[in-house]
């Protein structure tokens, strides 16, 4: 398995990150992509990627902090993108839930990171919270299909999923697809083509059932995979192989 989105760089793992990584490996997590989204978390993501052969980094700027994004930080992201362990740009996107950066600031930061991903030829990792229409519109208008990428922890409907697939994006599911009341993610998960499906934890957030509300960790990505296999009526082994191949293809991993 490959956890395509994990925050081992979060403060929640400060005391026991080595143990968390060991448990993930024991659970069958082959590789992990640690996502950096501000100065502190990017530095930690790069450190982890340098320390572990099987950990990779994604570097981007989160929409909630878009007000702090400037040309200097954009240039820094471009510099980091040349590192062999950096496999994506993001997470970037839009977040209309937290009122910490204006929509205009978020749109500008998002567009600049799409342009960067196309320039450095890396896929995007997209954060979308309460902003489905604008996220999709900007991806289409900025020709993000040229870079492709992941709709991280997808929460849209079937129609939006199809639109994202049409512009060269993979659909990734995390813990919420295991929640008992998650009718929409379960419905959408059944419709994604085999070759465009990915799994993630977004740990330490969004722990899957039966750990909902507790600290998530990458070992739990197995529970996401089990739920998807059940929903799609395929074997766990088949889906494990498929999602691993998908992640390797997207991130150009050998």
Token digits for 81?
A: 């993108």
Say if residue 83 carries a ligand binding annotation.
no
Say if residue 202 carries a ligand binding annotation.
yes
Say if residue 237 carries a ligand binding annotation.
no
Least Cα distance to 164 among 205, 207, 202, 123 occurs for 123
Residue 163 contacts residue 192 (beta carbons within 8 Å): no
Say if residue 7 carries a ligand binding annotation.
yes
Say if residue 127 carries a ligand binding annotation.
yes
Identify the burial level of 165 via C-beta atoms within 10 angstroms of its C-beta, where 0-12 means exposed, 13-18 middle and 19 or more buried. Answer: middle
Helix and strand totals (H; E) in the chain? 9, 8
Say if residue 91 carries a ligand binding annotation.
yes
Residue carrying structure tokens 């519109």: 137
Q: How far are the Cα atoms of 19, 94, 96, 204, 240 from residue 130, in angstroms, in the given order?
A: 34, 8, 5, 21, 30
Q: Which residues are annotated as part of the binding site for a divalent metal cation?
A: 5, 7, 91, 127, 152, 202
Q: Which residues are annotated as part of the binding site?
A: 5, 7, 91, 127, 152, 202
């Amino acid at each position: 398995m490959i956890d395509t989105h994990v925050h081992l760089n979060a403060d929640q793992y400060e005391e026991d990150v080595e143990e968390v990584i060991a448990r993930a490996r024991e659970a069958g997590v082959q590789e992990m992509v640690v996502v950096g989204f501000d100065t502190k978390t990017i530095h930690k993501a790069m450190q982890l990627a340098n320390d572990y052969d099987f950990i990779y980094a994604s570097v981007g700027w989160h929409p909630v902090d878009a007000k702090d994004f400037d040309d200097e930080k954009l240039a820094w992201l471009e510099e980091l993108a040349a590192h062999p362990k950096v496999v994506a740009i993001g997470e970037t996107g839009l977040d209309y839930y937290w009122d910490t950066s204006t929509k205009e600031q978020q749109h500008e930061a998002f567009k600049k990171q799409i342009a960067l991903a196309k320039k450095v030829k890396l896929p995007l990792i997209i954060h979308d919270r309460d902003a489905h229409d604008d996220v999709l519109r900007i991806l289409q208008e900025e020709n993000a299909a040229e870079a492709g990428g992941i709709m991280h922890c997808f929460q849209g409907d079937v129609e939006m999923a199809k639109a994202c697939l049409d512009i060269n994006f993979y659909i990734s599911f995390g813990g919420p697809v295991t929640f008992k009341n998650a009718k929409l993610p379960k419905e959408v998960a059944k419709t994604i083509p085999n070759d465009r499906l990915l799994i993630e934890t977004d740990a330490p957030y969004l722990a899957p059932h039966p750990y909902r509300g507790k600290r998530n960790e990458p070992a739990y990505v197995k529970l996401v995979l089990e739920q998807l296999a059940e929903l799609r009526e395929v074997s766990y082994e088949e889906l494990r192989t498929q999602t691993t191949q998908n992640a390797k293809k997207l991130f150009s991993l050998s």
